[in-house]
């Protein structure tokens, strides 16, 4: 599916296309996921992730093919420049089915050009089609991610509390 966004009054908006990724896009998505995790590790000065690009591409292809992961891919002049990874879940506190933005990445040279905002609009359109009650995203409560927080707030998200924690199953 191709998502189109409403015209934007901003002069710096870059012409782009956003499509639903297929398993054939897994290597591209994996490359951006690696770039995202490397950026997070660099900003925090800690090795939180250690993604192998080949294993990540294989996992991405499998999850896309199984339908339990959706990726929306942004391109400028045919070049992939960003993506958002989505998964569906259920929560009583949210009143039913919800979506979670698992990864969100725009290449640094394309940030502040409208690509991120267009990806969010595409996520919202996808959420409506899926019947999601809400969309959730997590960003670390650290000063290194204040710009991310401001971006999400500007795009209509609100702080709902909590921190991201993990345990290995």
For the chain, the structural domain boundaries read 12-154
* φ, ψ (nearest 5 deg) of residue 73: -115, 125
CA dist., res. 89 & res. 98, Å (int): 5
Domain spanning 12-154: CATH 2.40.30.160 = no
Tokens at 106, concatenated: 């725009």
Reported as a single tens digit per residue, the pLDDT across 96-138 is 999 999 999 999 999 999 999 999 999 999 999 999 999 999 9
Reported as a single tens digit per residue, the pLDDT across 40-53 is 888 888 888 888 99
Global pTM value: 0.89
């Amino acid at each position: 599916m191709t998502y189109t966004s409403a015209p934007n009054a901003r002069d710096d908006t870059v012409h782009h296309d956003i499509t639903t990724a297929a398993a054939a896009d897994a290597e591209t998505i994996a490359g951006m996921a690696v770039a995202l995790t490397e950026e997070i590790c660099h900003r925090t000065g800690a090795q939180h992730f250690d993604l192998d690009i080949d294993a990540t591409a294989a996992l991405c292809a499998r999850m896309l093919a199984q339908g339990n992961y959706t990726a929306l891919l942004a391109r400028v002049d045919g070049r992939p420049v960003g993506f958002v990874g989505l998964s569906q879940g259920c929560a009583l506190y949210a009143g039913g089915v919800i979506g979670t933005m698992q990864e969100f990445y725009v290449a640094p040279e394309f940030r502040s050009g409208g690509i991120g905002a267009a990806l969010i609009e595409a996520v919202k359109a996808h959420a409506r089609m899926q019947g999601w009650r809400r969309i959730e995203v997590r960003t670390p409560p650290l000063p290194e991610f204040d710009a991310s927080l401001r971006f999400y707030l500007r795009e209509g998200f609100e702080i709902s509390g909590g921190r991201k924690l993990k345990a290995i199953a």
